[in-house]
Structure 1
Amino acid sequence: MTLKHKLPALLFILTSALSISLKAQNHLERYAAIDVQHYKFDIKLSDATDGIEAKAEVTVQFKKAISSFNLDIIKKQADGKGMVINSVTEKGKTVNFKHEGQALTININSTKIGEKRTYTITYTGIPADGLYISKNKYNERTFFADNYPDRGKNWLPLVDHPSDKATVEWIVTAPNYYQTIGNGLLAEQSYVSDDMVMYHYKMDTPISTKVMVFGTARFAVEHSGEFKNIPISAWIYPQDKEMGFSDFSKTASILDYFITHFGSYPFKKLANVQSKTRFGGMENAGNVFYGETLINGTGSIEGTLAHEIAHQWFGNSATEGSWHHLWLSEGFATYTTDLYWEHQYGRDQFVERMKSERQKYIEYSPKNMVPIINPVKDDYLQLLSPLTYQKGAWVLHMLRHKVGDEFFWKGIRSYYEKYQYSNALSEDLQAVMEEVSSQDLASFFKQWLYQAGHPQLEVAWKNAGEFLDLEIKQTQKSGAFTFPVDIKMTFNDGTSRIETLNITDLTTTTKLRITQKVSKVEVDPNTWLLHEVISMKQND
């Protein structure tokens, strides 16, 4: 996901699987009891109303013997928005239910461990969120699902958490001047009356509810062929089709880079869709939604395009098992976009991107001095900040430097292969990286993910005969970091030398042997360390 350029930075404090909050505890109890296997959503749209008529078939596998379970769906509120449940049935027989607040409680005959049952839920209502029924920039009516992070409950009965992945079908019926794009492959398109058309999409690989979507609007559609058996298409407002088709023309080259470095593309199609998403880009599985104003024909969308395509592997297929590990999605997409940039445009432009991302995080960090993984809060829309995007990317960048390119890429591919179509936590990534590199990475992962802040350095140096006296102080309030740092010494004759120091204490003093006077000292000349130089002082 990429944020719109004008959105303010948001505090990124993620809920923990160990959180004592009621929401987390309720999910953990449900996670231990049920596993949704498949959703089939049948949605009827109209231009006469913002209300929907819907039917959901939810197939559940039970992990234990229970006599009731909950699905998330928000009840109709005083403002008239929300859903009204009309019936719940199993094999045509009425099932008792209770719908209060955000929970639909379904009371059932006691289950057996491993048993699968399918429940059919009919309901109506006006979505308060999650399904945007509005007008686009050309004042034309559109319908775009936008479930991230847990807004699907505003219009769908589901388990609205990334740890419960399922396959999905969309049956969308709408006026026949609209087209619909949804997860998976198109199984059927039928005119159900003179003025209504039905689209049926099937997704046969499991995904989390945050990326289960469809979009219905007037589109110009370009089918640009297949790349390694992956159909590629662009869905653009007709007024923008030339610009949009041009902007998305680099999709195949981006896919090529990621397939080469990550492994096979996880889904059966890739559609790029101009939309009304609240985000700059939203990585919905197999059909990415992009903010409508990003389409301009200049190719400036390339970075967003790469970011959202990278999410198909990291975030959509290999998915964080808990919200507070979201950096496994956003940090990965940010850094792998940077790596694509390095491949496409060279090391210098890559370094400039890394410096820019480091600066964004540094400017943000004083406002929220918390670690990437923080088990305190569960306001999921506060997940989007430089902590998980830029700092998360820098964690991967430093990990790459620590283990080396060969082991880094081997680890990335191994991690993806192990957790594709399932869920992972940060300790799972650590275990894979330790296995492939034969290094103990416990302290690395602990300090960069679970410790707030970053090294803030005061550096003092002076020429002292045959030595350069160097002092490095860590001044951050969050405690000492342990890290290697390169020091570049430039001499009076213009030559230079780099020495690597291992910093373990708040204050490090050392003497570096020299054969002539040093005119300049530079910290981290090759851009491998997340740090901030507070002051650089020459004492000669």
Structure 2
Amino acid sequence: MKVKNKILIILILIIVVVVFFFSGIYFLYGDKLGIVRDNLRLVVDFATVDLFEENKREIDVTNYNIDIELFPRKEKIVAKTRVIGLIRNKKKIELDFCDNFNIHSVQLNNSTADYYFDGNKLVIENNEINSDTFEVSVSYEGTPKNLGFGSFAFTEWKDDIMVSTLNEPVFASTWFPCNDTPADKALLNISITADSEMVSVSNGKLISVEKKGEKTKYNWLTVYPIATYLIAIYSAPYQSFNQQYVGLYSDTMNIDYYVLPDKLEDAEFAFADHPSYLKTLSDLYGEYPFIKEKYGAAQINWSQGAMESQTITGIGTNFISKAKFFSSMMLHEVAHSWWGNSVTPKSWKDIWLNEGFATYSEALYWEKTKGKSALISTMESFRVENDVETLYAPKMNIFSKMIYNKGAWVLHMLRRELGDTLFFKTLRNYYKKFQYGNADTYDFKKVCEETSGKDLRKFFDQWVFVGKGKIEIDYKWDIKNSEKNKKELSISLAQTQNGYEWYDFPIDILIKEDSGNEFTLTRYITSKDTVISFDIPDDFSSFEFDPESWLLVSIRSLEK
């Protein structure tokens, strides 16, 4: 057996273990054994595709037009999807699409087309060699696979039927043909038909509602580009209510909420702070990106949390409560409007640009509304342990706590490195440059350096590209008389972490006196082993490292 084959077998075994592990965690619907089997099959299929690929396919989609009818009691859809775009490879068009549907027709530029499936790719033969544009139309019906976190779910809450989608990261193709990569954003028209008791919600603006006998069709339109993983359908016998957000330039926008009747009172309380979230984050980063459409939230039957579908966040039933225990989660999803939905990663290698930024936005919001102590306590809650992957291009779990929490800490330490003025200017410049488009970590690093005038290679290497884990320090200290016949505090620091040879960083040391007076000294560490010495007052009592929690660090005294 060749070494290459051995590696492939090992990778497949790892995938099998991961799939069965997460199948026990994810909220799955229906026949669990069947879903585990389908999850395993699709993940193995996707193992042949680089999950982190940028838009390497030879098409550039400009528009999706999805017309879908829901039959939740039969767990079935009937749909027609038109995909419009530009073509580079003129021999064939390749779209991501699961092969389990009954396909009625495939057309290319209004003519019947030859097609075949290559795994979970729909490959369409292109006979119009001279055309630089294409329009593919696919009519199909069947039961979508419910994969990942719940890519297409028919569920019930009490006696109410609910339909929801959750495409992240690569499962939009379980229910419509698409170029399923975050790098290829497009405009969206989506029409959803269901029984008239159902209210059907999606991205963008509601253009019209059409009554068709016992059915109702909801037509939604985006005026801003959207990535496939952010396209959503939420359909249930919702009741709705709204608030208004007044933008930075006096534009008024609806905040629309959709919940089941028994959750209406809870939702009115739980969702009440959304105008504050939008206003505070707009002050920090720039105007809410989708102000010509809406912001909204819809109740979904998902037990793991919430999903930041563009302009319409899906929030799990269990998190809609008068107790307001989940305010930070809702705030996090609002923050994705800037980081993920407007500025979208070029590939899943850069997922920390979504989750780290949204997580740090939680801390910034609480700082703005509650003060510095709230910033410190929030960052302390984000401390991570035992992360063994790099923040950039993690190999296995792109949704681990490390991505969220360490991502937030990297931004916090970058703020300390640059200072508040340059840091917030950097975030605004980055957002302005890449809004409604795509960016990667190298783009962000470049904006940081251009805005600050600093060389940040070491910072990004140690915290993002190369380093794993955090700073770990052992220290000893001693007091002796200096040459000036004053007391001198000498502290020996040794970096002991395994994830990176040595970090460069500023460290604050709070000096405390018996009288109650305090003052802070700052030293910049640039080596693995460092000795810090400085004069101290006669009534010196103690010292404290990093009193304002600016460092992702673990510090251990070697003194008995």
TM beyond 0.5:
yes
- Pick from 477, 480, 488 the counterpart of residue 464 of structure 1: 480
Whether the 8 Å CA contact 2:245–2:278 is kept in 1: the answer is no
Corresponding residue for residue 241 of structure 2: 222
In 1, Cα distance between equivalents of 2:78 and 2:360: 42
- Pick from 97, 101, 111 the counterpart of residue 93 of structure 1: 111
Distance 1:158 1:32, change over 3 A: closer
Distance 1:310 1:7, change over 3 A: farther
- Shift, 1:22, TM fit: 4.3
Whether the 8 Å CA contact 2:342–2:435 is kept in 1: the answer is yes
Corresponding residue for residue 145 of structure 2: 128
Whether the 8 Å CA contact 1:58–1:118 is kept in 2: the answer is yes
- Shift, 1:150, TM fit: 1.0
2:49 partner SS: helix
Corresponding residue for residue 81 of structure 2: 56
- Shift, 1:112, TM fit: 4.9
Corresponding residue for residue 361 of structure 2: 336
- Pick from 476, 492, 498 the counterpart of residue 477 of structure 1: 498
Equivalences for residues 247-262 of structure 1 within 5 A:
247-262=270-285
2:229 partner SS: helix
In 2, Cα distance between equivalents of 1:65 and 1:511: 65
In 2, Cα distance between equivalents of 1:259 and 1:248: 18
Whether the 8 Å CA contact 1:456–1:531 is kept in 2: the answer is yes
In 2, Cα distance between equivalents of 1:101 and 1:26: 18
- Pick from 482, 486, 504 the counterpart of residue 526 of structure 2: 504
1:336 partner SS: helix
Corresponding residue for residue 435 of structure 1: 450
Corresponding residue for residue 543 of structure 2: 521
In 1, Cα distance between equivalents of 2:94 and 2:85: 11
In 1, Cα distance between equivalents of 2:70 and 2:76: 8
Corresponding residue for residue 18 of structure 1: none
The one-letter amino acid of 2:283's match is T
Corresponding residue for residue 288 of structure 1: 313
The one-letter amino acid of 2:414's match is L
- Pick from 421, 446, 451 the counterpart of residue 461 of structure 2: 446
2:314 partner SS: strand
Whether the 8 Å CA contact 2:106–2:136 is kept in 1: the answer is yes
Whether the 8 Å CA contact 1:65–1:111 is kept in 2: the answer is no
- Shift, 1:521, TM fit: 2.3
- Shift, 1:26, TM fit: 10
- Shift, 1:47, TM fit: 3.9
Distance 1:247 1:240, change over 3 A: same
**Which whole-Å deviations, capped at 9, do the CAs of 1:268-313 have from their partners, x for residues lacking one?**
1011111124531110000011111011112223211211111011
In 1, Cα distance between equivalents of 2:346 and 2:303: 24
In 1, Cα distance between equivalents of 2:75 and 2:183: 31
- Shift, 1:90, TM fit: 2.7
In 2, Cα distance between equivalents of 1:308 and 1:415: 19
- Shift, 1:140, TM fit: 1.6
Distance 1:516 1:250, change over 3 A: same
- Does residue 347 (structure 1) correspond to residue 367 (structure 2)? The answer is no
- Does residue 175 (structure 1) correspond to residue 195 (structure 2)? The answer is yes
2:105 partner SS: strand
- Shift, 1:418, TM fit: 0.5
Whether the 8 Å CA contact 2:303–2:318 is kept in 1: the answer is no
- Per chain length, whose mean CA-contact separation is higher, i.e. which structure has more relative contact order (CA < 8 Å, sep 6+)? 1
2:90 partner SS: coil
Whether the 8 Å CA contact 1:485–1:500 is kept in 2: the answer is yes
Q: How much is the aligned-residue C-alpha RMSD, in angstroms?
A: 2.0
Corresponding residue for residue 11 of structure 2: none
In 1, Cα distance between equivalents of 2:57 and 2:153: 33
Unaligned runs of 5+ in 1: 9-20, 77-82
- Does residue 44 (structure 1) correspond to residue 63 (structure 2)? The answer is no
Whether the 8 Å CA contact 1:88–1:95 is kept in 2: the answer is yes
Distance 1:347 1:71, change over 3 A: same
Corresponding residue for residue 102 of structure 1: 120
Equivalences for residues 354-393 of structure 1 within 5 A:
354-358=379-383, 361-362=384-385, 365=386, 368-374=387-393, 377=395, 382-393=397-408
Moved more, 477-486 or 177-186: 477-486
**Which whole-Å deviations, capped at 9, do the CAs of 1:299-356 have from their partners, x for residues lacking one?**
2232112111110111001011110111100000000111001111111122111011
In 2, Cα distance between equivalents of 1:240 and 1:154: 30
In 1, Cα distance between equivalents of 2:219 and 2:103: 23
The one-letter amino acid of 1:274's match is Q
Equivalences for residues 524-539 of structure 1 within 5 A:
524-533=546-555, 535-538=556-559
Whether the 8 Å CA contact 2:508–2:547 is kept in 1: the answer is yes
TM-score (norm 1): 0.89
The one-letter amino acid of 1:246's match is F
In 2, Cα distance between equivalents of 1:261 and 1:356: 22
The one-letter amino acid of 1:24's match is D
Distance 1:266 1:292, change over 3 A: same
Whether the 8 Å CA contact 1:31–1:164 is kept in 2: the answer is no
In 1, Cα distance between equivalents of 2:25 and 2:494: 36
**Which whole-Å deviations, capped at 9, do the CAs of 1:447-477 have from their partners, x for residues lacking one?**
1002112111111112213211211111111
Distance 1:504 1:225, change over 3 A: closer
Whether the 8 Å CA contact 1:224–1:232 is kept in 2: the answer is yes
- Shift, 1:511, TM fit: 1.8
Equivalences for residues 78-227 of structure 1 within 5 A:
83-112=101-130, 115-129=132-146, 130-136=151-157, 138-193=158-213, 195-227=214-246
- Shift, 1:25, TM fit: 9.2
Equivalences for residues 29-40 of structure 1 within 5 A:
31=56, 33-40=58-65
2:50 partner SS: helix
- Pick from 97, 101, 112 the counterpart of residue 73 of structure 1: 97
Whether the 8 Å CA contact 1:145–1:214 is kept in 2: the answer is yes
Unaligned runs of 5+ in 2: 1-21, 27-46, 482-486
How many residues end up aligned between the 2 structures? 501
In 2, Cα distance between equivalents of 1:7 and 1:174: 31
1:23 partner SS: coil
- Shift, 1:490, TM fit: 1.9
In 2, Cα distance between equivalents of 1:27 and 1:457: 37
Distance 1:155 1:139, change over 3 A: same
- Shift, 1:86, TM fit: 2.4
- Shift, 1:108, TM fit: 0.9
- Shift, 1:518, TM fit: 3.7
**Which whole-Å deviations, capped at 9, do the CAs of 1:109-132 have from their partners, x for residues lacking one?**
24458x222111011121121111
Distance 1:373 1:411, change over 3 A: same
In 2, Cα distance between equivalents of 1:84 and 1:72: 16
1:406 partner SS: helix
2:224 partner SS: strand
1:339 partner SS: helix
**Which whole-Å deviations, capped at 9, do the CAs of 1:28-77 have from their partners, x for residues lacking one?**
5x635211111111111124411111110000212x2421021111112x
The one-letter amino acid of 1:72's match is D
Percentage identity across paired residues of the two chains: 29
The one-letter amino acid of 1:208's match is A
Distance 1:266 1:460, change over 3 A: same
